[in-house]
Amino acid sequence: MASQDWIDKDFYSILGVSKDASEADIKKAYRKLARQFHPDQNPGDAEAEQRFKDITEANSVLSDPEERKQYDAIRAMGSGARFTAGGPAGAGGSANFEDLFGDIFGAGGGGRRRRTSYSTGGAGFGGAGGFEDLFSQFGGPGGYGAPGAGYQAPPTRGEDIRTETSIPFRSSVHGTTVKLRRGNGQETTVRVPAGVRDGQKLKLAGKGHSGPGGPGDLYVTVHVGSHPFFTRVDGTDDVEVTVPITFPEAALGATVEVPTLDGGTVRLKVPAGTSSGRRFRVKGRGFSTAKGAGNLIVTVEVHVPAHLDEAAEAAVRAFAEATADDDPRAGLAAKARV
């Protein structure tokens, strides 16, 4: 994208977030708007389609820390600023930000923006942190940053491409492949590894836009769907499940079978006197990745029947009489007064 485009477009307003929004805020806003204006939800609506493109463009910049840093700096310097092209005194013509930053970041001609960090602070463009500091980062006379005798601009790589894809939960367990269609109709096959996490970014080197210095890269953010039984523990390869057990199993102890991610089961020993909500860990039965395997975290819940026949009710009453001296709420009042 040309720098002039960055000056003209307010990506924060497009996503409806503030300039100090966190990455989580930006992600949440993008997902909400993307669902609302997705072409599949608005067939034939040109305005919604354009809105979706703007939302995607804004997210691609603001969700990348380096891109966002460059965008904020360029927007800050572009507010009301105008420049005069170099040349003899009185002979210069006007030059805008697109001309200026196109040379620096390689944006002109479809080149990939060069990564750099700089400050826009100071009382003026000549002050500390102003344009003198900015251009000094690109070398003095004879370097790439300052045209002079023997100056030759380095070839720029093509633009990176950033996109997203969604896969079912089960595909994140075993891994899968997805096909992405680019604007020119070409398809790119992306291999999603087993154990991929929701929000994880995959990099495909050399699969971005072409350029004189070689192609850019393709970055794919993977969104993983939910599952009715398994829940991944955030930031880990562990998986949680909740398993019901009967009161006799909890009171007397039992061995129960628990489903696992690979489609099989594991036998879990529940000791006598287990309370509802107790958690157990089964090593190595979580998500498997190249770095190892996570754990299966099992929470047991004591199942209470909604209806009892006469024999069952009589048995429960007999049990209640036999355990009348066992008060699980003893001492609660004293604890509450502390």
In a domain, 129, yes or no: no
**What is the arithmetic mean of pLDDT over 197-203?**
94
Is residue 147 very low, low, confident or very high in pLDDT (cuts 50, 70, 90)? low
CATH number of residue 281's parent domain: 2.60.260.20
Task: Yes or no: say if 177 and 191 are a contact pair by the CB < 8 Å rule.
Answer: yes
Same domain, 176 and 83: no
Domain range for 317 is 231-333
* Residues 110 and 190 reside in one and the same domain: no
Better-predicted residue by pLDDT, 281 or 46: 281
Cβ–Cβ under 8 Å, residues 113 and 211: no
171-186 confidence digits (pLDDT tens):
999 999 999 987 777 8
Q: Are 214 and 251 found together in one domain?
A: no
Confirm whether 154 is domain-assigned. no
Find, among 155, 154, 157, 164, the residue nearest to 209 by Cα: 157
Instruction: Report d(CA 105, CA 111) in Å as an integer.
Output: 8
pLDDT for the residue numbered 94: 41
Regarding whether 253 and 171 lie in a shared domain, the answer is: no
Please give, one letter per residue, the 3-state secondary structure of 195-251. CCCCCCEEEECCCCCCCCCCCCCEEEEEEECCCCCCEECCCCCCEEEEEEEEHHHHH
Residue 287 lies in a domain: yes
The answer to whether residues 237 and 299 belong to one domain is yes
Give the confidence band of 193 by pLDDT, cuts at 50, 70, 90. very high
Assigned domain for 8 exists: yes
pLDDT of amino acid 148? 55
Residue 331 has pLDDT above 50, yes or no: yes
Total number of domains in the chain: 3
Are 16 and 103 part of one and the same domain? yes
pLDDT of residue 75: 77
Q: Does residue 48 share a domain with residue 32?
A: yes
Highest mean pLDDT among 8-22, 150-164, 232-246: 232-246
Arithmetic mean of pLDDT, 70-92: 55
Q: Considering 201, 224, 247, which residue would you say is the last residue of a domain? A: 224
* Structural domain contains residue 291: yes
**252 part of a folded domain:** yes
Backbone angle region of 40, left / alpha / beta, with phi > 0 → left and psi within -120 to 50 → alpha: alpha
Are residues 93 and 167 part of one domain?
A: no
